[in-house]
Structure 1
Amino acid sequence: ASTPSCGDGQCTLDEDAAACADDCPERAGCTGAEWYARFDPITQEIADTREAIAVAWYATGGSFDAARTGRAGDDPARTSDNVWTAPSEPGVVTLWIVLRDDRGGVSWRTLAIEVG
């Protein structure tokens, strides 16, 4: 394990909010699928709709059980899980998790994992 390098302005994998509060502020983050109003052309009414979420998983090494996961709009779950199997060779692997909703929104997270 490496020693946290607090004060460099980056929240890296060896740092957390408890040890490096200035580098790792609490993030609001995604709280799950949102409700929105949409016009239903069949009923000619405004309908409350919960957005669907799609997650794409990428890595420079190793493998995921699924390339894509997600949740339908009527699924109340707030997470979309996947299993990543690390490569057998040591080194740094970069992971990208890309989140898309059915209204065109997109966000992503990049993580660097050191495989020992």
Structure 2
Amino acid sequence: MYSESRTDGRFITNDHWSLTKIIHDVLETFDNATQIFSYVYEPNIHMVILECIRHQATSQANPDPSVKDLLDNMKVKWCAYFNVFPLIYVTAAILDPGVKLQGLTNLLTFYYEQLGVNFDVPYYK
């Protein structure tokens, strides 16, 4: 398909493939998160915050100028849903032995820095 011309005589260029790869990587994080969030046969509520952080870090890392506007629009919608996590997700993450309270504090601090949101993440001893 790469080397064949389309009916209008235009070729699929390396730029088209690069853009496709960038969009694929962003959408892949959504797919991974959706699969984890919708899995019903094992407990997974403790993974919601971790997947949100993974998605945010992946989608915002070195955005290509050609998709920057798209990512900015996605970020606005993302913040509408995941700006403040419900307490059930926070509690489940704290109970996860791999995260605990200090780990969650560090993760949320990183997450809100990536979002560019001023949000105080307190650490309770």
Give the TM-score category using the shorter length. Answer: under 0.3
Structure with the largest fraction of strand: 1
Structure with the bigger RCO (C-alpha within 8 Å, sep 6+) is 2
TM-score of the superposed pair, with normalisation by structure 2 = 0.22
The structure with more helix, counted as a fraction of residues? 2
TM-score (norm 1): 0.23
